[in-house]
């Protein structure tokens, strides 16, 4: 199947200049691809570089070597070398991300947070709100919380707002960093159904899932990882 994203021979290390210049190798020579409608799960023990790989695929970490090609407007964009505003444009339309934690913006309500990515690409307010309400309902975020800023929500509630935000647009490529980590089984199942729906819509998905039972339900393929050295 034709890949939607290809990482070719990517390596990444951190140089800690203020701690004696220690160099930590986190990724070494990874070749990786994901196709539309496919979910690839990164698997490996703690410290094997799963999160670093995922962050590199988002352009959040700068790889030292290799190419990260993503299909964008019928062309390949190399995330490892793209201009910041190309990456931002890619993230706005093509590349979605659900992190483990919600970065709360002061005073912004849960509903606004979920609506924001839709408004940013010009979806009308009413339509964005309908979609946001549907997702928050699906993820069992109590309605009386929708108009409140999530700073005081529980970890699981914040996480579900975060997931709703990540799924509010049908991104062709979606990166999931342990989206079910702080959720109970029922809510984890709700997330699994969102992933299935996104796949059916043709999304390419790369994810990290701590729970084996979740992984088994969503993964088409496992990408095994080992610590670089």
Partner 1 sequence: MDNLAYVLPQTNPLASELPLLQAEQLSQWFAPGKGFAPLDLSLYRGEVLAIVGESGSGKTTLLKALSGRLTPQQGQVLYRHGEQAANLYQISEAQRRNIMRQDFGIVHQHPMDGLRPRISAGGNIGERLMEVGWRHYGDIRAQAKSWLSAVEIDIDRIDDLPITFSGGMAQRLQIARNLVTHPKVVFMDEPTGGLDVSVQARLLDLIRKLVSELQLAVVIVTHDLAVARLLAHRIMVMKQGEVVEAGLTDRVLDDPQHPYTQLLVSSVLQQ
Closest by Cα among 68, 10, 67, 5 to 37: 5
The nearest distance, CB 226 to partner 1, in angstroms, is: 22
Residue whose token pair is 């934690």? 101
Given 43, 44, 65, 78, the residue binding partner 1 (CB under 8 A): 78
Nearest distance from residue 141's CB to partner 1, in Å? 21
Which residues are within 8 A (CB) of 39 and not within 5 positions of it... i.e. 6 or more apart?
195, 199, 205, 206, 207, 218, 219, 220, 221
Q: Is 76 in the site for partner 1 (CB under 8 A)?
A: yes
> Could you say which of 41, 69, 168, 188 contacts partner 1 (CB under 8 A)?
69
The single residue among 71, 138, 160, 215 that binds partner 1, judged by CB under 8 A, is 71
Return d(Cα 174, Cα 45) in angstroms, integer: 22
Q: Is there binding between residue 85 and partner 1 (CB under 8 A)?
A: yes
14 binds partner 1 (CB under 8 A): yes
Q: Does 59 bind partner 1 (CB under 8 A)?
A: yes
Does residue 220 belong to the site contacting partner 1 (CB under 8 A)?
A: no
Q: Are 58 and 95 in contact (CB under 8 A)?
A: yes
């Amino acid at each position: 199947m034709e890949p939607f994203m290809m990482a070719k021979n990517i390596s990444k290390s951190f140089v800690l200049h203020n701690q004696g210049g220690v160099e930590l190798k986190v990724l070494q020579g990874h070749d990786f691809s994901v196709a539309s409608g496919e979910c690839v799960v990164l698997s490996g023990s703690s410290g094997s570089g799963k999160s670093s790989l995922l962050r590199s695929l988002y352009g959040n970490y700068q790889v030292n070597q290799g190419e990260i090609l993503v299909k964008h407007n019928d062309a390949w964009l190399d995330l490892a070398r793209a201009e910041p505003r190309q990456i931002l444009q890619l993230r706005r339309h093509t590349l979605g991300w659900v992190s483990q934690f919600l970065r709360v913006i002061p005073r912004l309500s849960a509903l606004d947070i979920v609506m924001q990515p839709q408004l940013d690409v010009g979806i009308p307010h009413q339509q964005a709100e309908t979609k946001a309400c549907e997702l928050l309902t699906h993820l069992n975020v109590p309605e009386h919380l929708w108009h409140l800023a999530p700073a005081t929500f529980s970890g699981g509630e914040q996480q579900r707002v975060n997931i709703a935000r990540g799924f509010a647009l049908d991104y062709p490529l979606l990166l999931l960093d342990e989206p079910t980590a702080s959720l109970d089984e029922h809510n984890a199942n709700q997330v699994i159904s969102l992933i299935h729906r996104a796949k059916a819509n043709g999304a390419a998905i790369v994810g990290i899932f701590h729970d084996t039972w979740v992984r088994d339900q969503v993964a088409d393929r496992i990408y095994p990882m080992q610590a670089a050295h």
